[in-house]
Structure 1
Amino acid sequence: MDLSKLPQLEGWIRAGEAFDPRTFLQSTATVGEAAAMSMLFWPEFTEYRNGVFLGFLFERRGVDVWFDELKGDASAVEDVVNHVHLWDVFAPKSEAEYAVLAELAPRIATMWRAALKSAFPTRDFVVSVADASEDYGPTISIRSA
C-alpha cells in the first residue's frame, strides 16, 4: 500500500525508509479513534434468526422488516444488512485516499474473516469486497455460506 501520496502522512514518510505508524498515530490519533476503528476492523457479531450480523449494523426492528420482505431467508437478509461502504466511513478527499481505501478494503475483509472464524469456528462465511466499479466505492460484505 503506497501511503506516500496521502497528505496526512506528508513529512512522516522518508524516502527509502519503512513507515513506522506508531509515531504518526501517537501524534495524530486518539484512543477513542483507535477503539472505534478496532470495532470496524475486528467487529463483534450478533446471531439472530439463524443469521449472523455485524454488531454495529444490527438493529432488530430493521432486520425483522428484511426477514419479512425476504420471506425468512437469513442469507438474503445478511446480504442486505452486512455491508460497509468505506466511502461512508472515511470520506476520502483526494485521489490518493480513494486509492488507499481500495487497497484497505481487502485487508479489512481478511480481518473480518478471522473475526468470524474466531467467533464461529464451525460455521462458514463468505466475505466479499467490491471495488468502486462494482458498488458505491470499496464495499465489504459478509453472509453465511
Structure 2
Amino acid sequence: MGIVDLSKLPQADGWMTTADGFDVRAFLLANVTVGEAAALSLLFWPEFVEYRDCVFLGALFDKRSVDTWFEELKGDRSAVENVVNHLHLWDVFAPRSESEYAILPEVASRVAAMWRAALRDAFPAREFVVAVLGEEGDYGPTVSFRSA
C-alpha cells in the first residue's frame, strides 16, 4: 500500500500546494460533515458480529441470510464468511470521473489494511484472510475477509 496520490482528483483542485502537498485537514473541514466522517469510520474500522463460530461485518450481517448461506454452502464457515463479508466499493461510492475510478483500488487497499487491524484488535487469538479483488470483469474493487 503506497501513498494515495490525490493530485489528479477534481476535488483536490485548489487544495494542493507545491511546497506542502495536500492539506487534508483543510479539505475535510470544508467538505466533510461529522455525520459523513462517522459513517466513513464504520467503513474503515467496522463493527463485527460473532455468529455460529464465525465473524461478520456488522453492517452486512443478516441472520436469516447467513443461515441460508450455511445451508447452501453445507456448513463451510470460511466460505460463508467469504460470501457475506465482501463489500463492493461501487456499492458505497459512486465515482464521477476517470480519476476517481483510478484511485478506488487504492482506497480498497486502505480499507483492507484497516479491516486487518480491526480484526486483529477485536479477535487477537484468531487469524483472518483479508482480500482485495478487482480483476477485469469483477464488480469494481471489492474487499472481503474470512477466517484463515
Could you say whether these structures have the same fold, taking a TM-score greater than 0.5 normalized by the shorter chain as the test? yes
What is aligned with 1:32? 35
AA at the equivalent of 2:136: S
Say yes or no: does 1:129 pair with 2:132: yes
Deviation at 1:129, TM superposition (A): 0.5
Identify which of 120, 123, 126 aligns with 1:120: 123
What is aligned with 2:142? 139
Q: Give the CA RMSD over aligned residues.
A: 1.1
Say yes or no: does 1:57 pair with 2:67: no
What is the count of residue pairs matched by the alignment?
145
What TM-score results when the alignment is normalised by the length of structure 1?
Answer: 0.95
In the TM superposition, 1:1-145 aligns within 5 A as 1-133=4-136, 135-145=138-148
What TM-score results when the alignment is normalised by the length of structure 2?
Answer: 0.94
The CA deviation string for residues 67-93 of structure 1, in whole angstroms up to 9 with x for no partner, is 111111111111110001111111101
Which 5+ residue runs of structure 1 have no aligned equivalent?
Answer: none
Q: Distance in 1 between matches of 2:100 and 2:57?
A: 25
AA at the equivalent of 1:97: E
The CA deviation string for residues 94-117 of structure 1, in whole angstroms up to 9 with x for no partner, is 111011111111111010000000
Sequence identity (%): 66
Which 5+ residue runs of structure 2 have no aligned equivalent?
Answer: none
Q: Distance in 1 between matches of 2:46 and 2:23?
A: 25
